[in-house]
Amino acid sequence: MSATEKPKLAMYWASSCGGCEISVLGIGENILAVDEIFDLAFFPCIADFKVADVKGYPDGYIDLCLFNGAIRNSENEEMAHLLRRKSKVLVAFGSCAYEGCIPALSNLTSKQATLNTVFLDSPSLANPNGILPQPHFRVPEGELEIPVFYHTVKSLDQVVDVDYTIPGCPPEPHQIWAVLQVVVAALTQGAALPPKGSIVGAGDVAVCEECPLEKSEKTIARFYRPYEIKPQPGMCLLEQGLVCMGPATRNGCGALCPQVGMGCRGCYGPLPGVEDQGARMLAAIASVLDVNGSPGVDEHALDRRVQEAVDTIADPAGTFYRFSMAHSLLGRVRSDALEKQIEPVKAQHNGSKNGHQSASHRSRAKEAVA
Ligand code: SF4
Ligand code: SF4
Ligand code: SF4
């Protein structure tokens, strides 16, 4: 790069909601400094670049690529490989790229069940012939091609080499700006970058450590959903029976959610050195359960009380792995048995010709997915 040339910046969305792009705009007037420092090389959300433009760049042409979104289909994966090749520094930006986030909740079910829900079972659909998306489809004008929908959602680092990760859903703007300043100092003044593989724009302790709510080592006998109780102000939410992922989540956001009475959802990902955020949270939950384990207490009665308390947690898998499913030790649930149940139903549907058969398919597909 010559002295007069600006570093090149790219930001891409794979399987994402667009919130990560908005969070970059959240850096406020500093966006003007970004514009001054960088030339945009690719940023589909705000500028009309084409993939062909990126393909035409020499390898390593892009100095910094912020890649958000999970890898849900073949296009996401192809773009991940392309942007890896064209970028000097590739950052997994936000929870979807880091650990799968909301898209990876579909790893709790199967590709077929997801397609059924979206294209066959939705009550607002009119799809009497049960047409499902086809990656290749011939029309008089030629062959149409759409991306292949994957069975398993992956994080960015599960398909390409990633240099850094910025966690959060989305990352907090003050953290984004801090990271951009570090990168700019490295690109323009030769300052050192953090070690490859670092999680940047976040802290190294639990959200609880920066949460101002008071903890009192209170135990609880059941959990509540947020609408079921009005939490006592100033007191730890978990100790009041509201699931809060603070003990199992990396800090850096400023404990935003607990401060407004909403338990931390876990979007900054697991603590340093912890492989499975959900498992860590289960350990934290166990520590606040009011199960009197003193000598003489019947073990079965104890088991029952634990089970009763845990049964009050709505959607445990979705709660504890809301952001981290793809990156967790689970990765996905086994779906072979589920697929076997669904396949005959799908075959029957493909043979159906009218709305009546379609309705019967829908009810059977629901049974299979349940
Ligand atoms: S990390 Fe959150 S804000 Fe960013 S794309 Fe994913 S769902 Fe959206
Ligand atoms: S569990 Fe939640 S509410 Fe309690 S201290 Fe930790 S972050 Fe705050
Ligand atoms: S409190 Fe938890 S869910 Fe809320 S922004 Fe922070 S890390 Fe994310």
Q: What is the pTM of this model?
A: 0.88
Intervals of CATH 3.40.50.700 along the chain: 8-100+155-189
pLDDT value at position 292? 64
**Residues in the ligand 3 pocket, defined by CB under 6 Å:** 207, 249, 253, 255-257, 264-268
Report how far ligand 2's centroid is from the alpha carbon of 245 (Å).
Answer: 8
What average pLDDT score do residues 208-214 get? Answer: 97
- Examine the pLDDT at 83 and tell me if it is beyond 90: yes
Question: Between 344 and 316, where is the model more confident?
Answer: 316
Going by pLDDT thresholds of 50, 70 and 90, the confidence category of residue 301 is: confident
Residue 281 CB–ligand 1 contact under 6 Å: no
Going by pLDDT thresholds of 50, 70 and 90, the confidence category of residue 339 is: low
Question: Token digits for 65?
Answer: 């690529």
pLDDT value at position 305? 83
Q: Which of 242, 264, 277, 320 best tests ligand 2's pocket when mutated (most atoms within 8 Å of CB)?
A: 264
In DSSP terms, which residues pair with 164 in a beta bridge?
91
Report how far ligand 3's centroid is from the alpha carbon of 244 (Å).
Answer: 10
- Examine the pLDDT at 353 and tell me if it is beyond 80: no
Q: Which of 204, 238, 257, 260 best tests ligand 3's pocket when mutated (most atoms within 8 Å of CB)?
A: 257
pLDDT in tens, 320-333: 999 999 999 999 98
- Examine the pLDDT at 306 and tell me if it is beyond 90: no
Please name the helix (run of DSSP H) or strand (run of DSSP E) that holds residue 54, with its range, or none: helix 51-56
**Residues in the ligand 2 pocket, defined by CB under 6 Å:** 207-208, 211, 213, 215, 236-238, 244, 246-247, 255, 258, 264
- Examine the pLDDT at 354 and tell me if it is beyond 80: no
Nearest CA to ligand 2 atom 4: 236
Residue 166 CB–ligand 1 contact under 6 Å: no
Residue 68 CB–ligand 1 contact under 6 Å: yes
362: phi then psi, degrees, rounded to nearest 5: -60, -45
pLDDT in tens, 234-248: 999 999 999 999 999
Contact 160, 81 (CB under 8 A): yes
Nearest CA to ligand 1 atom 2: 169
What average pLDDT score do residues 109-120 get? Answer: 93
pLDDT value at position 346? 52
| C-alpha to C-alpha distances, 342 to 87, 123, 196, 332, 335, nearest whole angstrom | 42, 19, 43, 18, 10
- Examine the pLDDT at 351 and tell me if it is beyond 50: no
Question: Between 151 and 301, where is the model more confident?
Answer: 151
For residue 237, the ligand 2 atom closest to its alpha carbon is 3
Tell the residue number behind the tokens 């072979």, with chain if given. 336
User: What's the CATH fold of domain 8-100+155-189?
Assistant: Rossmann fold (3.40.50)
List of E strands, 130-241: 136-139, 142-145, 149-154, 164-166
Q: Which of 176, 209, 264 best tests ligand 3's pocket when mutated (most atoms within 8 Å of CB)?
A: 264
Contact 246, 207 (CB under 8 A): yes
Residue 266 CB–ligand 1 contact under 6 Å: no
Question: Between 164 and 310, where is the model more confident?
Answer: 164
- Examine the pLDDT at 337 and tell me if it is beyond 90: no
What average pLDDT score do residues 49-71 get? Answer: 97
- Examine the pLDDT at 49 and tell me if it is beyond 60: yes
